[in-house]
């Protein structure tokens, strides 16, 4: 017989805690198995969807068509790709319908986001993850699309890809990494370029080593704001042994500090095997008020961890970006600023 509250707690233990606080113990998951999507081949069809912000100009569709067909691929635009609902690309059910349609269509071999913005988080609990798991294909995007990419990996085990969106500036650098990883299935090593697009030397893309060393683990990451906004949900992975990569745009230094602190307090940072920091664009300290520098914040948050960490990787809201597979085993080297895929990301 249970005589008092203390006896009840001893008997119920973690089981009762998980009922009272459903995400406190069960919010981080690891898929039972990993699914590698089929690689893209010339002539394959890419489905373009808008899970987040709207695209207002029809002329953008022509630019996207030129870019994608230029790589030898075909296109299918979602029915609501140009829909507008305030700051969203259509109502939630419309955006979800387009995603489902692309996975139901056997002629579509990859699903690419039109652009980022905001809105992917709003539809995560509406997505048919069984449909996705039973019809695995490449899913790619970045920025706000981060939440969709991570959620799909967590719920299905399907490798997804942090890389260009349809409206990105598809220069040679971004296109080459896209092709190497998604079309050629190479286990590449990614390092920042030492030349400008015209071939002249540059030191604009130097990396900064915060903690030296190498680390192995599955890659998980994307936009920092988006990842932080998912804390407490069922759509984030078990972080133990993972390599976190992140980027940011248009956030003040104290806001980045706040988000990294939130990850620390949530126990995420202490579980990682390594960290790759991409570009933080338009995140400079205020010129009118006192501020820590971004470098000081990174040192505060990552130096005590004692795990390999470097910053400056070609990830983020920049013209030349890597394509990083979410969920793939990788090895990072913080001394030279490299990330090596230990397996192909596609089948």
- The pLDDT assigned to 198 comes to 82
Please determine, for residue 101, whether its predicted confidence score (pLDDT) is greater than 70. Answer: yes
Verify whether residue 247 is a known catalytic residue: yes
Catalytic entry in 143, 147, 168, 273: 143
Q: What is the dihedral of CA 12, 13, 16, 18, to 10 degrees?
A: -160
Whether the Cβ atoms of residue 246 and residue 277 lie closer than 8 Å to each other: yes
Question: What are φ and ψ of residue 119, in 5° steps?
Answer: 145, -20
Catalytic residue, chosen from 94, 247, 248, 251, is 247
Strands (E) located in 189-255: 189-191, 208-211, 214-223, 236-237, 243-249
Residue of 27, 229, 251, 317 marked active site: 317
Domains, the chain, with CATH or none: 45-183 (3.40.50.10740), 189-341 (3.50.30.60)
Residue 190 has pLDDT above 60, yes or no: yes
- Considering only the C-alpha atoms of the chain, give the largest distance between any 2 of them, rounded to a whole number of Å: 79
Distance CA 295, CA 249 (A): 15
pLDDT in tens, 295-336: 999 999 999 999 999 999 999 999 999 999 999 999 999 999
Catalytic residue flag (residue 143)? yes
Q: Mean pLDDT throughout 41-56?
A: 96
Range with the poorest average pLDDT among 6-15, 46-55, 168-177, 205-214: 6-15
Whether residue 18 lies in the annotated active site: no
Residue 204 has pLDDT above 90, yes or no: no
């Amino acid at each position: 017989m249970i005589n008092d509250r203390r006896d009840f707690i001893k008997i119920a233990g973690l089981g009762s805690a998980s009922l009272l606080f459903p995400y406190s113990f069960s919010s981080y998951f690891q898929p039972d198995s990993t699914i590698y999507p089929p690689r893209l081949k010339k002539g394959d069809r890419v489905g373009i969807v808008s899970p987040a912000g709207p695209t207002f100009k029809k002329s953008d569709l022509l630019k996207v068509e030129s870019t994608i067909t230029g790589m030898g691929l075909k296109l299918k635009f979602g029915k609501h790709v140009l829909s507008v609902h305030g700051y969203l690309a259509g109502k939630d059910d419309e955006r979800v319908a387009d995603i489902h349609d692309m996975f139901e269509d056997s002629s579509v071999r990859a699903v690419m986001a039109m652009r980022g913005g905001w809105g992917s988080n709003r539809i995560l609990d509406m997505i048919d993850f069984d449909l996705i798991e039973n019809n695995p294909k490449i899913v790619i995007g970045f920025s706000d699309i981060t939440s969709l990419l991570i959620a799909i990996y967590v719920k299905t085990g399907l490798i997804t890809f942090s890389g260009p969106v349809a409206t990105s500036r598809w220069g040679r650098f971004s296109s080459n990494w896209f092709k190497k990883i998604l079309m050629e299935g190479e286990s590449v090593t990614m390092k920042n370029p030492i030349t400008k697009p015209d071939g002249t030397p540059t030191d604009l893309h130097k990396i900064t080593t915060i903690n030296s060393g190498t680390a192995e683990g599955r890659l998980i990451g994307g936009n920092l704001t988006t990842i932080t906004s998912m804390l407490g949900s069922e759509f984030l992975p078990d972080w133990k042994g993972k390599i976190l990569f992140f980027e940011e745009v248009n956030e003040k230094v104290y806001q980045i500090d706040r988000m990294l602190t939130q990850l620390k307090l949530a126990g995420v940072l202490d579980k990682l095997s390594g960290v790759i920091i991409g570009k933080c664009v338009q995140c400079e300290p205020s010129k009118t008020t006192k501020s820590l520098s971004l470098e000081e914040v990174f040192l505060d948050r990552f130096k005590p961890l004692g795990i390999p960490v470097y910053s400056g990787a070609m990830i983020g809201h920049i013209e030349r970006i890597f394509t990083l597979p979410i969920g793939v085993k990788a090895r990072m080297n913080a001394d030279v600023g490299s990330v090596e895929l230990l397996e192909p990301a596609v089948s």
